[in-house]
Chains A and B, each alone.
Chain A
Amino acid sequence: MVFFSCKVDPKINPILPSDDLKEIIPPGWPEPVYRFNNNPIKEQVFVLGRALFYDPILSKDNTVSCGSCHQQFAAFAHADHGFSHGVDDKLGTRNAPGMFNLNWHPAFMHDGGVNHIEVMPVAPIQNPVEMDLAFNDALEKLKNSNRYKKLFAAAYGDENVTSSRMLKAMAQFMGLMYSYNSRYDMFKRGENGVTFTEQEQRGYQLFLANCNSCHKEPLFTDFSYRNNGLTVNALINDSGRAHITQLPEDKFKFKVPSLRNIALSAPYMHDGRYATLQQCLDHYTNNVVNMVNLDPLLLPNGIPMNAQQKSDIIEFLKTLNDYKFIGDKRFADPGIN
């Protein structure tokens, strides 16, 4: 008995690193929206947040975790899934975006419906096509778990499992996912002698001329809601931002996504309709529909580019892959569930 209770429980001893955690604002970046106010960065809080993120305990039938749809190798998007499937393999109607630099987002989701990183997990936990668990029940499951009692105690000094502690820990884990070490970043910082090839250089200039007004450096989004001329899928009829604001002028507008790590996070667009970057570029040259609320920047004929220019831009976009980020063991699945 004594022997048993002395046994080290591997479940509460994280094997993964969780060191060197701090708020980062890379030089030249704007001030983040979320500054960890009332949520001081602490290793054990991060470890708790990571455990929760990768634990299917937050789903109705213990099969789906946040990490099921947000995969690190895809910069926390859902690789190869146009629509993400949740419990019972139910399909949603939107594509899971990548997750990084979330502290700069004024609002979350393709329609901006979620206004704060700390309340972000509530929606996927309760969503019937994602984890399908009433938030109360999720909290109850954690309260009944000895493993979580210990993780909460390590993080907060006592075993009390509260929603505020839970959500702050998850916000801390997600908020500390910074992506700022792509080749593009090193090139801009003049680090490690990184240079751009001629093609990448051309692609960068074309990007600045044609894309940067929406996918704005350094975050590669201006976080506005816009319509980039995608045909409306009649089966889903996703009204985008208007779903939240109920304003006709927001109909079919979606949050401009960041293009960091974009080559790693196919498929593309809010409904995952495009499988490749080539298709995205072809969209801007050939398929922009002149519909209600189409962004004026795309009038009259989308963005004219020839084949060479498009492949130049794609080469540039690949420089935004941050391999240090997707290989950072601190954000990996602790594999203890």
Chain B
Amino acid sequence: MKNIVFIIVSMLIFVACKKDTVTEPTPPVNNTPAATGGTLKISFANMVDSLPLVYGTFYKNANGDTFNVNKFMYYVSNITLTKTDESVYKVPNSYHLINRGNDLANHIVNLSGIPEGTYKKITYLIGVDSARNVSGVQDGDLAPEKNMFWDWNTGYIMLKLEGYSPVSGTVDKSIQFHTGGFKGANNVLRWVSINFPTNLTISATKNPELKLSTNVNELFKNPNVYDFTQDYFIMSEGLRANTFANNYQDMTSFKEIVQ
């Protein structure tokens, strides 16, 4: 009986979770930086609906629960840019931990060597691809001291949000959502694709900025509404991490291009 209920519930989740599926751009993909390429600055602003996210400040989630955030970080990797002529440039070795910390400025990713041209779309992975999860110690944003690494079931924490909610079921009223898992049914990696309403021009003489904005409330809203009295804690891979990843896959959206 319990099993049947479980199956029905997971089917519901499955149906409810169906969002547009984004996949990795297929070859031919160019991944050689251009000698005379241009630069691109990508900024990630963290918002809670229309308000900028400020650590420690209280907000309300879609369920009406009060909460604050004191840690919010996630990986963005395998960035590709698509030109208006459909050709694709894949930024080599692009692994970025988006972690604004207490600094209120936007988190900036600086790219260079991008082939000149007119671009219409950015695609990337939320999380760290499976290869880098199984290839031993990594440097830079992937270094283990970034604290985005599980040591007992080794692999990256793809997204981490921690904070406080007075309704949380934990003793200290904390809320903690850590997702990971890169294999089979437990794979929480999600491709994201963002079209630009206006074209982005890359050239050796320009220094454009792509402004993106990430809505923390999206994590708890769509398609699954999180009730912090029941759901306040994810610390391992599995179904719950996956359901959460389905929620956050579209947390980031286009804001503007500053040419």
Q: Which residues of A contact B (CB under 8 A)?
A: 38-39, 113-119, 122-123, 126-127, 135-136, 139, 162-164, 167-168, 171, 243-244, 246
Contact = CB atoms under 8 A, between A and B. Distances in A.
A207 to B, nearest CB: 33
B238 A164 contact: no
Contacts of B86: none
Interface string B180-195: 0000001000000000
The 6 closest A-B pairs by CB, nearest first: A118-B136, A123-B151, A122-B151, A167-B137, A118-B137, A116-B136
Interface stretch (B88-96, B113-121, B141-149, B248-256): B141-149
Given A116-B154, A162-B143, A246 B137 contact: no
A126 B151 contact: yes
A113 B237 contact: no
21 contacts: A38-B136, A113-B152, A114-B152, A115-B134, A115-B155, A116-B136, A116-B154, A118-B136, A119-B137, A122-B151, A123-B152, A135-B151, A136-B145, A136-B147, A162-B143, A163-B144, A164-B137, A164-B138, A167-B137, A243-B153, A246-B237
A135 B133 CA distance: 18
Contacts of B172: none
Interface in B142-181: 143-145, 147, 149, 151-155
Contacts of A114: 151-152, 154
Contacts of A115: 133-134, 154-155
Contacts of B138: 164
User: Would you call the interface of chain A mostly helix, strand, loop, or mixed?
Assistant: helix
B144 A116 contact: no
A218 B236 CA distance: 36
Contacts of B153: 113, 243-244
A116 B135 contact: yes
B20 interface: no
A108 B140 CA distance: 25
Contacts, number: 65
B103 interface: no
Nearest to A38: B136
Interface size bucket, B side?
20 to 34
B91 to A, nearest CB: 21
B145 A139 contact: yes
A117 B154 CA distance: 11
A223 to B, nearest CB: 15
Interface string B233-247: 000111000000000
A117 B136 contact: yes
Interface of B: 133-139, 143-145, 147, 149, 151-155, 186, 236-238
A164 B151 contact: no
B147 A164 contact: no
B154 A164 contact: no
Contact of B238 (A118, A122, A163, A246): A246
- For A39, A115, A123, A168, the residue with the greatest tally of chain B CB atoms inside 10 Å of its CB is A115
- For A39, A116, A168, the residue with the greatest tally of chain B CB atoms inside 10 Å of its CB is A116
Nearest to A138: B145
A163 B154 contact: no
B243 to A, nearest CB: 14
A8 to B, nearest CB: 32
A246 B186 contact: yes
Contact of B143 (A123, A164, A171): A164
A171 to B, nearest CB: 7
A192 B153 CA distance: 44
A167 B138 CA distance: 10
B139 A164 contact: yes
- For B133, B138, B151, B236, the residue with the greatest tally of chain A CB atoms inside 10 Å of its CB is B151
Contact of A122 (B133, B135, B149): B149
A171 B136 CA distance: 10
Nearest to B149: A122
A122 B147 CA distance: 11
A288 to B, nearest CB: 29
Given A123-B152, A136-B147, A163 B134 contact: no
Contacts of A163: 137, 143-145
Nearest to B184: A245
